């Protein structure tokens, strides 16, 4: 599984990287960069940041 950012929706709020530094870091302009795949153990955290995004720009994909 992997996190996907919709870059059009994303407005660089940065909550995702704040809540899940294990999965995401921010580039120098404040936009999220996905660092790794979502393992079973990290799934609850991934779901949390998907729900926390004020722009609904994150999703989890099975592929």
Q: Applying CB under 8 A, which part among 15-23, 25-33, 35-43, 44-52 lies near other proteins?
A: 25-33
Residue (10 or 49) nearer to other proteins, CB = 10
Q: How far is the CA of 21 from the CAs of 11, 25, 42, in angstroms?
A: 18, 6, 11
Q: Does 7 bind other proteins (CB under 8 A)?
A: yes
Find out whether 11 and 19 touch, Cβ atoms under 8 Å: no
Q: Which of residues 31-60 bind other proteins (CB under 8 A)?
A: 31, 33, 59
Least distance in Å: CB of 8 to other proteins? 5
What 8-state DSSP symbol labels residue 60?
E
């Amino acid at each position: 599984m992997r996190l996907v950012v919709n870059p059009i929706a994303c407005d660089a709020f940065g909550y995702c990287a704040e809540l899940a530094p294990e999965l995401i870091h921010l580039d120098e302009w404040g936009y999220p960069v996905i660092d790794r795949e979502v393992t079973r153990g990290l799934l609850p955290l991934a779901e949390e940041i998907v729900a926390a995004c004020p722009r609904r720009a994150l999703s989890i994909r099975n592929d």
